[in-house]
């Protein structure tokens, strides 16, 4: 194998375990959201892909080319990722997409974003400093800004209390900060089927927007956006001008509750297709006699002769230690229990019935094999967390391969 050394942890083990990204599943999920728009009356709504968290662990670099053509805009957290999008577009000779940085932006970064025609979110008064810097930089064009209203998440954004009191500086700096949009983010759309709290947030959003418009009298209607995956699917009133779709674009339902609500609101549950499969080639397959212990702490003891596969993957790679004794992987379409504790770089599974000899096997840690599958939801549940955390923690060092 021709292996380049790509930094710490990028040796054999990183290549023995790899992630496959299904381009066709991603295209399918984009179509699910396009179809939602066709259902809704009114002008064409814009579809945005959220690529934060290393594209939900799928790999920013590998995912960007897959979504760039299919969506209208890209949402990121890190300003550097936005600049990487522009570099990618130049390299490929592509027309620039609207790119919006949702996360915090340092004043110096604001200048770089303005130069590259990237939109930023103004969420507090620290932007006065950025305004002064932008002015000093004497740029050809203003920075395109979206004002964040905190409608009840209690995270970034101006509360209704602060509006319009704390946004007056936006009029002052309108030569360098051009307000083109307004956004908010829901606190409680995924954990419930009853959307009372979200509806109150929508009311607050409308109130806040009206105050901003009265204060700034923008030349063009502001681009309004509040819906992430769940609200895009189950709260039509929240769709406004653009959807910010993260988890569902990768083929994962935000929650069980969202799926239940979708049946009620949409009449049928759209099929989302998971984009990610995680596989691992075994490092060794061997028999352990009855009575043998497996792994640290000797927490597992073989009650009978057991054929094990040693997989060179562990919690360093993002396979959670908490699933010890609970999870299974798939080998040749069969479930194989994880034996003993998940280790930093190793995982032991029982392949007694899944294979017939001691040749290497390929295990599926996430995804389908034959009739069986291990979902990100299942693995996350075994790890006492949510699939959002599970996928975003998949090691950035793992090889990611695009398949159709």
Rounded to an integer, what distance in angstroms lies between the CA atom of residue 171 and that of residue 150?
Answer: 20
Tell me how far CA of residue 125 lies from CA of 121, 133, 136, in angstroms.
12, 14, 18
Considering the complex, what minimum distance in angstroms separates the CB of residue 148 from ligand PLP? 8
Active site residue 296: yes
Residue among 73 and 294 whose Cβ is closer to ligand PLP: 73
Residue among 243 and 330 whose Cβ is closer to ligand PLP: 243
Considering the complex, what minimum distance in angstroms separates the CB of residue 228 from ligand PLP? 3
Enter the tokens of residue 58: 């799928």
Whether the Cβ atoms of residue 364 and residue 329 lie closer than 8 Å to each other: yes
Please report which helix (H) or strand (E) contains residue 353, including its range. Answer: none
Rounded to an integer, what distance in angstroms lies between the CA atom of residue 341 and that of residue 298?
Answer: 9
Considering the complex, what minimum distance in angstroms separates the CB of residue 339 from ligand PLP? 34
Residue among 229 and 355 whose Cβ is closer to ligand PLP: 229
Active site residue 319: no
Exposed/middle/buried for residue 269 (C-beta within 10 Å: 0-12, 13-18, 19+): middle
Please report which helix (H) or strand (E) contains residue 49, including its range. Answer: strand 46-50
Considering the complex, what minimum distance in angstroms separates the CB of residue 97 from ligand PLP? 17
Query: 52, 197, 293, 326: which one is catalytic?
Result: 52
Known binding-site residues for substrate equal 155, 344
User: Could you give the angle at which helices 60-67 and 79-92 cross, rounded to 10 degrees?
Assistant: 60
Whether the Cβ atoms of residue 399 and residue 15 lie closer than 8 Å to each other: yes
- The 3-class SS string of 223-257 reads EEECCCHHHHHHCHHHCCCEEEECHHHHCCCCCHH
Residue among 229 and 282 whose Cβ is closer to ligand PLP: 229
Query: 75, 286, 296, 326: which one is catalytic?
Result: 296
Residue among 240 and 300 whose Cβ is closer to ligand PLP: 240
Residue facing ligand PLP at closest CB distance? 246
Considering the complex, what minimum distance in angstroms separates the CB of residue 48 from ligand PLP? 9
Q: DSSP 3-state helix, strand, coil percentages of the chain (rounded to 5)?
A: 35, 25, 40
By CB under 6 A, name the binding residues for ligand PLP. 50, 52, 102, 185, 228-230, 244-248, 254
* Residue 43: HSE in the Cβ half-sphere, 13 Å Cα cutoff: 5
Distance of CA 241 to the CA centre of its chain: 21
3-state secondary structure of 300: strand
Known binding-site residues equal 155, 344
Enzyme catalytic residues: 52, 296
């Amino acid at each position: 194998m021709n292996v380049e050394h790509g930094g710490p942890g990028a040796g054999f083990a990183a290549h023995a375990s790899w992630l496959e990204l299904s381009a066709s599943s991603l295209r399918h999920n984009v179509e699910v959201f396009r179809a939602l728009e066709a259902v809704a009356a009114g002008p064409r709504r814009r579809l945005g892909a959220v690529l934060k968290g290393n594209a939900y662990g799928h790999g920013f670099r590998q995912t960007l080319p897959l979504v760039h053509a299919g969506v209208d805009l890209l949402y990121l957290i890190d300003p550097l990722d936005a600049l990487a999008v522009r570099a990618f577009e130049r390299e490929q000779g592509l027309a620039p997409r609207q790119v919006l940085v949702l996360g915090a932006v340092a004043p110096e970064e604001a200048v770089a974003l303005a130069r590259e025609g990237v939109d930023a979110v103004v969420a507090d008064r620290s932007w006065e400093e950025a305004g002064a810097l932008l002015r000093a930089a004497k740029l050809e064009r203003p920075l395109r800004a979206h004002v964040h209203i905190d409608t009840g998440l209690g995270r970034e954004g101006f509360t209704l209390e602060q509006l319009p009191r704390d946004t007056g500086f936006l009029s002052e700096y309108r030569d360098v900060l051009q307000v083109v949009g307004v956004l908010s983010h829901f606190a409680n759309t995924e954990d419930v089927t009853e959307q009372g709290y979200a509806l109150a947030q929508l009311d607050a959003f409308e109130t806040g927007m009206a105050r901003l418009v009265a204060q700034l009298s923008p030349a063009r209607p502001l681009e309004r956006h509040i819906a992430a995956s769940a609200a895009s699917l189950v709260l039509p009133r929240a769709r406004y001008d653009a959807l910010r779709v993260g988890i569902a674009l990768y083929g994962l339902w935000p929650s069980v509750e969202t799926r239940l609500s979708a049946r009620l609101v949409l009449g049928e549950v759209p099929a989302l297709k998971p984009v990610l499969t995680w596989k691992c080639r075994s490092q060794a397959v061997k028999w352990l006699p009855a009575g043998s212990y497996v792994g640290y702490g000797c927490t597992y003891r073989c009650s009978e002769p057991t054929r094990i596969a040693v997989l060179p993957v562990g919690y360093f790679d993002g396979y959670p230690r908490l699933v010890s004794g609970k999870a299974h992987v798939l080998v040749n379409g069969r479930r194989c229990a994880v034996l003993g504790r998940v280790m930093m770089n190793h995982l032991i599974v029982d392949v007694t019935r899944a294979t017939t000899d001691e040749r290497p096997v390929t295990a599926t840690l996430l995804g389908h094999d034959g009739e069986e599958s291990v979902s990100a939801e299942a693995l996350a549940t075994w790890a006492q967390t949510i699939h959002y955390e599970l996928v975003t923690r998949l090691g950035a060092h793992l090889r990611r391969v695009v398949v159709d």
